[in-house]
Amino acid sequence: MIAGITFRSFYFPLVEGAVRGPQVAEFLGYLLRHIRQPMIIVWDRVPAHRGAVVRQFVEAQEGRIHLEFLPA
């Protein structure tokens, strides 16, 4: 499961099987369409969060998404 929480909403898609980079990028795109303000994303260091697909997607958002990783 992937989830996003704001002060007013809880967003989560159900993903069958393991979550991979493309699903993470797709979910971030969904959040961008529904949350108009810049976002801070806090997550662990699983490979799906650190991969090239997600990194390229975040970089293309020109600062709308800021990533913070939990300590190892």
For residue 1, what pLDDT is reported? 60
For residue 64, what pLDDT is reported? 95
For residue 15, what pLDDT is reported? 76
Instruction: Give yes or no for a contact between 38 and 63, defined as CB atoms under 8 angstroms apart.
Output: yes
pLDDT tens digits in sequence order for the chain, 72 residues long: 676 767 778 777 777 888 899 999 998 999 999 888 899 998 888 888 999 999 999 999 999 999 999 998
Burial classification of residue 54, based on how many CB atoms lie within 10 Å of its CB (0-12 exposed, 13-18 middle, 19 or more buried):
buried
Of 71, 72, 70, 41, residue with least CA distance to 57: 41
